[in-house]
Amino acid sequence: MHYFVSDIHLGSGDKAEQRRVERLFLDFLAKIEGDAETLFLVGDIFDFWFEYKQVVPKGFVRVLGRLAELCDRGVRVVMLTGNHDMWVGNYLTEECGIELYTTPQTFTLAGKRLFVAHGDNMNIQGKPLLRAMNAMFRSKVLRKVASWLIHPDLFMRFGQWWSGKSRKSHNANYGAEVLEPLVDYAAKYGAEHSVDYFIFGHMHYAMDVTAAERVLFMGDWHRQPSYIALDNNGEIELNIINS
């Protein structure tokens, strides 16, 4: 089986909420460990992650340990970064064994072609301010300068504030209509490329959409925990977790 999750947002909320979501995710990892061939982490696994050369964010040891254990057992763990954890470095690969991508990818699994992406920074041509912000946040030069000039404690404080602000703004538009830009993107991309399934996170709204293309969205784990499962016959299913 091949599993997909996104938008865990580990570290967001008060301490009780952080532990609740962490436990929910750990229970999921324990549930799939018996039959998982591949686990895809499709962005925003962390609510904020900024990795210095010798410093990584405090916390998440239970989750990171479990992911490393899955890798050690031969499960392929793949992470595609989202807008909350785009600043990863080599730590997750070197310490945990996670295969890391910072751009959308196409994978062939169980005889099916899957386009997998977090979903941020896509189909935003008509949003110049958002495009400018994305370009700035993804600048390797600015990232390096920030890591030289800003103490980790200060950067984490800023990052947590920014992540919370971004998440609240995102959740204010909570409804199926938020999926339309990525459904449109999938239709245009699918017209020119051979893709069986499109898989996205980012929108915090779980839905299996059959339009011009089969497009599946995963919800966030604070309000709508969900995952996608692809079996070895190529059948795919969106699952909502009762929490």
One-letter amino acid for residue 223 of the chain: R
CA dist., res. 93 & res. 233, Å (int): 30
Positive/negative CA dihedral, 162, 151, 59, 19: negative
pLDDT at position 150 over 80: no
Q: Residue 10: which pLDDT band, with cuts at 50, 70 and 90?
A: very high
Supply 6's token pair. 């996104």
Q: Check residue 224 and give its pLDDT.
A: 92
Write the pLDDT tens digit of every residue in 97-108.
999 999 999 999
Confirm whether pTM is higher than 0.75: yes
3-state secondary structure of 233: coil
Bridge partners, 100 (sequence order): 79
Q: Check residue 87 and give its pLDDT.
A: 82
One-letter amino acid for residue 210 of the chain: T
CB 200 within 8 Å of CB 184: no
Write the pLDDT tens digit of every residue in 126-141.
566 555 566 656 667 6
CB 31 within 8 Å of CB 189: no
CB 218 within 8 Å of CB 226: yes
3-state secondary structure of 95: helix
Write the pLDDT tens digit of every residue in 196-223.
999 999 989 999 998 778 999 999 999 9
Rounded to the nearest integer, the mean pLDDT of the chain is: 86
> Which phi and psi angles does 51 have, rounded to 5°?
-105, 115
CA dist., res. 35 & res. 213, Å (int): 28
Q: Check residue 159 and give its pLDDT.
A: 62
- 3-state SS of 190-218 is HCCCCCCEEEECCCCCCEEEECCCEEEEC
Which residue did the predictor score with more confidence, 65 or 160?
65
Q: Check residue 4 and give its pLDDT.
A: 98
Positive/negative CA dihedral, 22, 221, 55, 164: negative
